[in-house]
Amino acid sequence: MVITSEIMDRLVEKNPGEAEFHQAVHEVLTSIEPVLERHPKYVKAKIVERIVEPERQIIFRVPWQDDTGEVQINRGFRVEFSSAIGPYKGGLRFHPTVNLGIIKFLGFEQILKNALTGLAMGGGKGGSDFDPKGKSDDEVMRFCQSFMTELVRHIGADTDVPAGDIGVGGREIGFLFGQYKRIKNVFEGVLTGKGLNWGGSLVRTEATGYGVIYFLEEMLKSKGETIEGKTAVSSGSGNASIYTVEKCQQLGAKVVGMSDSNGYVHDPEGIRLDTVRRIKEIERGRIKEYVEEHPHATYHEGWKGIWSLKVDIALPNATENEIGREEAELLVKNGVIAVAEGANMPSTPEAIEVFLENGVLFGPAKAANAGGVAVSGLEMAQNSQRVAWTFEEADEKLKGIMHHIYTTASEAAEEYGAPGNLVVGANVGGFLKVADAMLDQGLV
């Protein structure tokens, strides 16, 4: 950190209290130090100082009325981080823990992730501290309409294209799109993750999870291994987790645990995904209800306990910093051979160190979970051409993109002196693409 430590110090001083943002930037700066040493042109043009400062940050009031008629006020965010290689692109998160630091960490990660896909997408992220849990459909609609009434001024199919994230699925995207269209009187691909009969892409729903497993396959292949016959756990039981588990099972692994923010279920016979989907996607219930239908399975309070299960493959798909040093050490002790991150930044720096020191194959989020945004990019392409590809076409493209990401990251790791370290590879691979575009475009 010779070149970047001063930049890091200034960033912490200038953005106090944004711990997750500091963590995300620190990891990237550590990885790209050898790039800066080899290419002083990036240092001279202050590419790093520029890339860590969002191009634009919007914070706004979101007033709405609940079903009892009471007025509620939430805070909305959109951080338009980088448009170096395309329109700002990244999801919206609705969760009570959302604050500016969280949105900035996600937006910053998104810049490099989007670059790695090879598609023309810049980086952005947004959301609100609104909690959709326990709200009626009408309340969620009123909130989304109010949120979009402000957001509409800042986004557009060629400017900024939001999508889903925690708490924002098909229902929310529908309400947001409806309000955008009503205000702008334009039917365009301004959001991704849309319904299939109004501009959505096949495979978008499955893309994050399927992509994680395609990436995992690539990592295992490098060691002459496959997914078939392995045991796995996947934390969370939302979009990322459900489709990670689906693909994992299709490829012959046995997934023995899933969780939500209250606790986890352990099903030694293999998780019945149809039950999880019904509980979480249709009834919007809790994962503990699983054991009512499958009494041989057990439910345990506390979501971190899932990492104590003995498995070959760990798939964190819930939220940031869900695996710390202790959980990583437990996984290693229990013989884990691979970790592929579906959630954003789910492993702490200490946990990553434990995995790398112990020779565990480690797929960092930026690379492993880029399938979601990649198919969002494909959705944008289909919207622009007013065409719709088949499931097979979109899935093949997703597989090709995940292969490209793996190759880019592993080659960059090799080239910059960290063979096999995909954290370094993903950071360097993404950075180079964005940095070169910034150099080409002058001081903007």
Using alpha carbons, select from 288, 291, 283, 193 the residue that is nearest to residue 243: 193
Cβ closer to ligand NDP: 130 or 416? 130
Handedness of CA 377, 378, 381, 383 (dihedral sign): negative
Residue number with the shortest CB distance to ligand NDP?
Answer: 238
d(Cα 278, Cα 367) in Å, to the nearest integer?
30
Q: Do residues 276 and 258 make contact, with C-beta atoms less than 8 angstroms apart?
A: yes
Residue 267 CB, nearest approach to ligand NDP (Å) = 16
Gap between the terminal Cα atoms of the chain:
26
Binding residues for ligand NDP, rule: CB under 6 A, are 164-167, 169, 208, 236-241, 260-262, 303, 317-319, 342-344, 369, 372
Residues labelled catalytic: 125
Residue 402 CB, nearest approach to ligand NDP (Å) = 13
Cβ closer to ligand NDP: 35 or 430? 430
Cβ closer to ligand NDP: 218 or 438? 218
Q: Do residues 313 and 230 make contact, with C-beta atoms less than 8 angstroms apart?
A: yes
Cβ closer to ligand NDP: 76 or 342? 342
Residue 327 CB, nearest approach to ligand NDP (Å) = 13
d(Cα 263, Cα 366) in Å, to the nearest integer?
26
Residue 193 CB, nearest approach to ligand NDP (Å) = 7
Residue 147 CB, nearest approach to ligand NDP (Å) = 16
d(Cα 127, Cα 123) in Å, to the nearest integer?
14
Q: Do residues 209 and 317 make contact, with C-beta atoms less than 8 angstroms apart?
A: yes
Cβ closer to ligand NDP: 42 or 264? 264
Residue 239 CB, nearest approach to ligand NDP (Å) = 4
Cβ closer to ligand NDP: 149 or 348? 348
**Cα 391 from chain centroid?**
22
Residue 280 CB, nearest approach to ligand NDP (Å) = 7
Cβ closer to ligand NDP: 315 or 330? 315
Residues 6+ away with beta carbon under 8 Å from 166: 93, 94, 95, 238, 319
Cβ closer to ligand NDP: 184 or 325? 325
Residue 265 CB, nearest approach to ligand NDP (Å) = 12
d(Cα 104, Cα 126) in Å, to the nearest integer?
9
Angle, helix 204-221 to helix 371-385, in steps of 10 degrees: 130
Phi, psi of 340 (to 5 degrees): -125, 125
